Structure 1
Amino acid sequence: MMYDISGIFIITLTFLVAGTVKGVIGLGLPTISLAILTVIFGLPEGMALLIVPSFLTNLWQALSGGYTSIILRRLYIFLLAAACSVFLGASIFMQVDPSSLSTFLGVLLMVYGLVNLANFSFLLNSRQVIVLAPLAGALNGIFTGMTGSMVVPGVMFLQALGLHRDMLVQAMGMLFTLSTGVLALAMYEGSLLTLELGAMSSLGLVPALVGMALGQRIRKSLSEAVFRRVFFLSNLLIGAYIIVSNQLAY
C-alpha cells in the first residue's frame, strides 16, 4: 500500500513513543510499536514495519553490557531454538487468517502485561534450565513468526534465570535481535516484506532513537517502577482492545 502523510506521521509517532518507553525502562520498543501498528495497519504490516527500528536498537543493546560470551555460553541452546523456529511460525502465519493471529497477539500481550503487573516470578534451577531452554526458545520463535511478538515465553524464561539487571537487558537484546533478523528473512522469503515496507520501516529508526534519548532523560526525573506499571497496563489494555475489535469484526 502507498502511505500518505497521515500514515507516515503515525509511523513516526509510534516509534517515537516506543523509543521513549525503551529509553525509560530498557525494553518495550518491539512490543509497543507492534501493538499500535497492528491496531492501525493490521498484523502483517505491523510486523514488517517494526523490522528496522527493532533490529538496530536491539543490536546496540545486545552488543553493550560486556556479558556477550557469558550469555552465549549459558543460553546458546535457547537462542538457537528461538531463532530457528521463527521459520515454522512464519509458515503458520502464511496459512492462517491474519485476524485470528491478531487475536492471538492480543492474548500474548495480555499475558505479558498480567504476569508483570502481578509481579509473578520464579527461579529455575540448572536442571530445569537444561530441559526448558529449548522448549521456551522454540515456543518464543514460533510465536514470533506467527505474531511478531518476541516476549512470551522468552522474556519470562530469561527473568527466571536470576540474571542481574545489566545481563538480563543484554540477553533480551540478543533475543530480540536474533528474532527480528530471522523474522525479516522469513517475511522476505514469503513476499511479506516489500521494498516499500522496508523503506517505511527504516523511516521509524530516527524517531525511535530520538525517543530513546528522550526516555533516558525522563528516567532521571520519573519513578521507573511507576512507568513500568503503566507500560504493562498498556500492554494489557491494547491486547484486550485487539481481541475485542477482532471479535466485533466477525
Structure 2
Amino acid sequence: MLAFVIFVFALAGMIKGTLGLGLPAVSMGLLSLVISPFQAATLLIIPSMVTNVWQLFAEGQVLKLIRRFWPLLLGIIVGSAWSVFPTLGHGSFHSEALLGGMLALYGVYGLFAKSMPNVSKHEHWLSPIMGYLGGALTVATGVVVIPVVPYLQSLHLKRDELVQALGLAFTVSTLCLAVYLHLHPVKDTPIDYQMSLIALLPALIGMWLGTKIRYRIPEQKFRKVFFAGLVIFGLYMVLHQLGWL
C-alpha cells in the first residue's frame, strides 16, 4: 500500500508540475481503485493543501483576489456544509460512480474547450452558484474541478491571476474537505494523517520532475493524452460501479 501511494502521488505531482493541474483528479481516481473514495480523500489532504498554498502565494495580490472572489469562496463553504449530492462514504449511492463521471467530464472539457465565453459581466451572481456546486461536489467526490475550473477560465483572467484564483479556490475547497472528513468520519475508517504526510514528499518530487518534463515535450500532446486518459478512466469507473463491466 505504501509503495502504491508513493507511486500515485509521484505520478499525480508530475502531471501537476507539467500541466499545472490534475493532482487531486489523478490521485483520487487511482487510489479509488484499491481503497474507498473516503480513504483516498483523507490521503489527499496534506499534499493538496501544501501544493495549493504554494500555487496561491507564488505571486502577490492575494488580498485583492479574496476581495473579488469572496462570493465564490462563500459558496464553496456553504456547498461543502450542505451538499445536495451523496457525500463520501455516506448514503446508498457509491461515490465511485460520481467521481468517475466527474473525471470523464473533466477530460471531455480539457479535450474540447478551446475558447471559453467571457461571462465576467455575470460574475456577481454566477460566483456563489458555481462555488456552491464546487463545494458540494468536493465533499461528494474529493475533487474540486467541475464547475469551478471552467468558470474561472471563462472570466478571462490574466494567466497569473488565473493560476492564483485556482489556487485560492482549491485551498478553500481542500480546507472544507478536511473539516468535512474530520466531522463526518466513516466507521472503521480512521483518517491517516501520517500516510498523507508521507504522500507529500513524492508529490513534491513529482512536481519538480514535471517542471523539467514541461520543457522537453510538447505540452499540447501531453494534455491530449492526459485528458483522453481521464475520459476512458472515468467511464470505466462509472460502468464498473454500475456493474456493467
Q: State the TM bucket, normalised to the shorter chain.
A: over 0.9
- Which residue in 2 is equivalent to 1:31? 25
TM-score under structure 1 normalisation?
A: 0.90
- Which residue in 2 is equivalent to 1:3? none
Percent identity between matched residues is: 34
Amino acid at match of 1:241: Y
User: Aligned runs of 1:167-178 on 2, under 5 Å?
Assistant: 167-178=161-172
Matched, 1:203 2:198: yes
Whether the aligned pair in 1 keeps the contact of 2:39 and 2:191 (CA below 8 Å) is no
Matched, 1:140 2:113: no
Partner SS for 1:19: helix
RMSD: 2.0
Partner SS for 2:152: helix
**1:41 pairs with one of 35, 45, 49:** 35
Residue 82 of structure 1, CA deviation:
1.0
Amino acid at match of 2:159: R
Whether the aligned pair in 2 keeps the contact of 1:14 and 1:37 (CA below 8 Å) is yes
Residue 214 of structure 1, CA deviation:
0.5
Amino acid at match of 1:225: Q
Distance, in Å, in 2 between the alignment partners of 1:57 and 1:25 is 14
Distance, in Å, in 1 between the alignment partners of 2:73 and 2:83 is 15
Residue 215 of structure 1, CA deviation:
0.5
Distance, in Å, in 2 between the alignment partners of 1:91 and 1:119 is 26
Distance, in Å, in 2 between the alignment partners of 1:16 and 1:25 is 14
Partner SS for 2:34: helix
Please, which runs of 5 or more residues in structure 2 have no aligned partner?
none
Distance, in Å, in 2 between the alignment partners of 1:85 and 1:196 is 22
TM-score under structure 2 normalisation?
A: 0.92
Distance, in Å, in 1 between the alignment partners of 2:49 and 2:238 is 27
Matched, 1:247 2:242: yes
Residue 173 of structure 1, CA deviation:
1.1
**2:50 pairs with one of 56, 59, 64:** 56
Amino acid at match of 2:118: L
Residue 61 of structure 1, CA deviation:
0.6
Distance, in Å, in 2 between the alignment partners of 1:80 and 1:53 is 23
Distance, in Å, in 2 between the alignment partners of 1:146 and 1:123 is 28
Structure-2 change in CA distance of 1:117 and 1:126 (3 Å): closer
User: Aligned runs of 1:85-164 on 2, under 5 Å?
Assistant: 85-89=79-83, 92-93=86-87, 95-97=90-92, 99=94, 101-164=95-158
Distance, in Å, in 2 between the alignment partners of 1:119 and 1:190 is 36
Residue 91 of structure 1, CA deviation:
8.6
- Which residue in 1 is equivalent to 2:3? 9
Residue 203 of structure 1, CA deviation:
1.1
Please, which runs of 5 or more residues in structure 1 have no aligned partner?
1-6
Distance, in Å, in 1 between the alignment partners of 2:120 and 2:236 is 39
Residue 223 of structure 1, CA deviation:
1.1
Residue 28 of structure 1, CA deviation:
0.9
The answer to which of 116-125 and 169-178 deviates more is: 116-125
Partner SS for 2:64: helix
Whether the aligned pair in 2 keeps the contact of 1:87 and 1:183 (CA below 8 Å) is no
The answer to which of 114-123 and 155-164 deviates more is: 114-123
Structure-2 change in CA distance of 1:43 and 1:97 (3 Å): farther
Residue 122 of structure 1, CA deviation:
2.6
